[in-house]
Amino acid sequence: PQRTLVLVKPDGVRRRLSGEVLRRIEAKGYTLVAAELRVAPTELLEEHYAEHAGKPFLPALVEFMHSGPVLAAVVEGYRVIEGFRSLAGATDPTVAAPGTIRGDLAHDVGSPLIENVVHGSDSPESAAREIALWFPSL
């Protein structure tokens, strides 16, 4: 089966939402393969967000992602990449559909950076790249 990288971002960990996110993933029927709480080094975060290199919000995004621990997890299941993105909802939490993680648990707090609780890989190529980056031993 397919694997994806899920991150509960520092806003989600600070707001005690890690368990709620894992609960939704497991309730959906997906399998946790690995999970670890850690403060990610900025070098790792710059690699992780390589597709955003040069974008104006990248430095703030890296600083935010480094501001506290993230819960990094590898989640497995048939079509899990698409399935988790559907669980997560739209990037802007103000308009993310109710029923989704972002739609139920977050709103735009007016910071220049979008704080939206979770990250999920967006394609098989990003999933492979991100899992190798965060869990090199897998």
Helix, strand, coil: what percent of the chain each, to 5?
40, 20, 40
Q: Alpha-carbon distance 138 to 123, whole Å?
A: 18
Does 64 count as an annotated binding residue? no
- Shortest distance in whole angstroms from residue 84 CB to ligand ATP: 9
For residue 119, indicate whether it is catalytic.
Answer: yes
Q: Which residues bind ligand ATP (CB under 6 A)?
A: 57, 61, 91, 113-114, 116, 119-120, 122
- Shortest distance in whole angstroms from residue 126 CB to ligand ATP: 9
- Shortest distance in whole angstroms from residue 122 CB to ligand ATP: 5
- CA 104 from chain centre, in angstroms, equals 16
Question: Comparing C-alpha atoms, which of 87, 112, 120 is closest to residue 102?
Answer: 87
Does 79 count as an annotated binding residue? no
Q: Alpha-carbon distance 83 to 46, whole Å?
A: 26
Closer of 108 and 137 to ligand ATP (Cβ) = 108
Candidates 48, 52, 66, 119; catalytic one = 119
Does 57 count as an annotated binding residue? yes
The residues with which 114 forms a beta bridge, in sequence order, are none
End-to-end CA, the chain: 15
Closer of 57 and 78 to ligand ATP (Cβ) = 57
Which residue in this structure is represented by tokens 């996110």?
A: 21
Does 42 count as an annotated binding residue? no
Closer of 90 and 137 to ligand ATP (Cβ) = 90
Q: Alpha-carbon distance 69 to 36, whole Å?
A: 10
Can you say which residues are annotated as belonging to the binding site? 9, 57, 85, 91, 102, 116
**Which residues belong to the active site?**
119
Can you say which residues are annotated as belonging to the binding site for ATP? 9, 57, 85, 91, 102, 116
